[in-house]
Amino acid sequence: MREVDGMVEDGWEQVADTFRANFRDGKDLGAACCVYVDGRVVVDLWGGLADRQRNLPWERNTVALVASTTKGATAMCAHLLVQRGQLDLDVPVARYWPEFGAAGKDKLPVRYLLSHQAGLPYVDTPVTFEEACAWDPLVRALEVQQPLWTPGAEHLYHAMTYGFLVGEVVKRITGKSLGTFFAEEIARPLGLSAWIGLPEEHEPRVAKLEAAPFPYNSMEDMVADFGKLMGLDPAVAGAVVKDVYGPGSVFMKAGAVGGVTEENMHLRAYRAAEFPAANMFANAHAIARMYAATVSEVDGFRLLQPDTVAEMTKVQTDRSRMHGVPPALLPATQNLFNMSLGFWRSTPPIHPLLGPASFGHPGSGGSLGAADPESRVGFGYVPNLWPAALIDPRAIELTAAVRKCLGKV
């Protein structure tokens, strides 16, 4: 294994040790990890292989698909408009996007799009991969669709539609696609290596994704591990996995929107298109720097002000039920989805992130972006070895090391 490169300030060695251990223990193939504190870098590490087949090392400028970690960047675009007075979260979406008001959605407020409470986790009109890449056909399908539940009464992760819903609102207000707005208003001012809609000239920088071996002997073992991590009784864990995440569930349909598969995620067409819920390409330094700019100044630039951060991180899903969970299991599962306005909140014991006040967003494959207003920390982790586990321990262990370095045991 190629040596880990980068820098670590004194007092942050535990993060570096944890990062190296992931390679030593076979948990990582190639990866990067970065930590900002008070607007400056204290950890910036990368190592391993960006492409095993070609024996290409992971370099400082390597970027990778970060899947749903994209959602945090998309949420920041929306909250930047809120901060500027251009977007009101409590008015109907139809105020900005009139066609959305069809099929009983005329009063659905913008905040339900950001908190996954809109009842539109998938599209019930067939939309091909090519149509999703083109944007408008999928948006037209969402316009005419009736919500699956009474908006605000339930919640469920809008795995792919989240990006089209929030992205179209941003487009209607600014006249720019979400990817363009992100590039001009966030990535460019901060100098980020991060794109939602990857320019072709950056293709040589992209790490090749690789699926990790299934880490369990059986599905029963996976469910048991899931229950242990979530603090659930084994019977409850089994029911949640079956009813919420099982084959044919709404959750599974939500992840299949737009015909995106493991195969076409490698295509230039997917990388070039804008899927603002799932296809940002970035490195860990960019993600940490972006989140740092929400809780501190970074080289004189602050993205979001404290009042904006305080409002956008208020939990929204504590008063609605998770769609698909049997009523008898609601008390035990009420806080499994601790979602604010576009960001997961710290949820011990599942994922404490950087502390009780912290917020962020993980992505399939293990990536994570997060920030903590109290300690003014921005964190980013990006790997290319994608595990099959329901909960990935790598970012959990890295953020635990950050908390220890901060004295937050």
Q: Are 285 and 44 in contact (CB under 8 A)?
A: yes
Name the most confidently modeled range: 34-48, 204-218, 385-399: 34-48
163 token code pair: 């990006």
- Amino acid identity of residue 201, one-letter, is E
Contacts of 97 (CB under 8 A, 6+ apart): 143, 168, 169, 172
Contacts of 358 (CB under 8 A, 6+ apart): 345, 346, 352, 370, 371, 372, 373, 374, 377
- Amino acid identity of residue 42, one-letter, is V
What does pLDDT average to over the chain? 92
155 token code pair: 């919640």
Task: Between 104 and 263, name the one with better pLDDT.
Answer: 104
Is the pLDDT at 331 greater than 70? The verdict is: no
Mean local confidence (pLDDT), 267-284: 98
156 token code pair: 């469920």
Considering only the C-alpha atoms of the chain, give the largest distance between any 2 of them, rounded to a whole number of Å.
58
Measured distance CA(12)–CA(406) in Å, rounded: 9
Is the pLDDT at 168 greater than 90? The verdict is: yes
The pLDDT value given to residue 268: 97
Of the listed ranges 191-200, 239-248, 313-322, the least confidently predicted one is: 239-248
Q: What is the pLDDT of residues 102-141, one digit of tens each?
A: 999 999 999 999 999 999 999 999 899 999 999 999 999 9
Q: What is the pLDDT of residues 169-192, one digit of tens each?
A: 999 999 999 999 999 999 999 999
**Residue 333 confidence class, pLDDT cut points 50, 70, 90:** low
Contacts of 99 (CB under 8 A, 6+ apart): 140, 143
Mean local confidence (pLDDT), 50-57: 96
Contacts of 377 (CB under 8 A, 6+ apart): 35, 36, 37, 292, 295, 354, 358, 371, 402, 406
**Sheet hosting strand 280-282, strand order edge to edge:** 64-65, 280-282, 194-196
Dihedral pair phi/psi, residue 378, rounded to 5°: -120, 135
Could you give the residue ranges of the DSSP H alpha helices within 46-135? 70-83, 110-114, 129-134
The alpha-carbon radius of gyration of the chain (Å, integer) is 20
Mean local confidence (pLDDT), 357-386: 97
Would you state the torsion angle of the CA atoms of residues 95, 158, 383, 237, taken in this order, to the nearest 10 degrees? 150
Is residue 139 classed as helix, strand or coil in its secondary structure? helix
Burial class for 113, CB neighbours closer than 10 Å (0-12, 13-18, 19+): buried
270 token code pair: 């997917």
